[in-house]
Amino acid sequence: MEEKILNLLTQPMKTGEVAEATGIEKKEVEKIIKKLVKEGKVESPKRCYYAAVK
């Protein structure tokens, strides 16, 4: 699931948009994104938006 989300985050997206596009529950997407941010793989370029670190 992490890879699926990382591949999708080529441009900044909200967690709800990621959930809709992947079919993963929003709460689960939020947990995964939080983990990826801690690992330095995802950043938040602006409030409530997330994008993969290039």
The pLDDT assigned to 28 comes to 98
pTM, whole model, 2 decimals? 0.91
What letter would DSSP give residue 11? S
What stretches of the chain show up as alpha helix (H) in DSSP? 2-8, 15-22, 26-38
Q: Is the pLDDT of residue 13 over 90?
A: yes
List the chain domain ranges. 2-52
The values of phi and psi at residue 50, to 5°, are -135, 145
Q: Confidence class of residue 54 from pLDDT cuts 50, 70 and 90?
A: confident
The pLDDT assigned to 52 comes to 97
Q: Could you tell me which CATH number the domain at 2-52 has?
A: 1.10.10.10
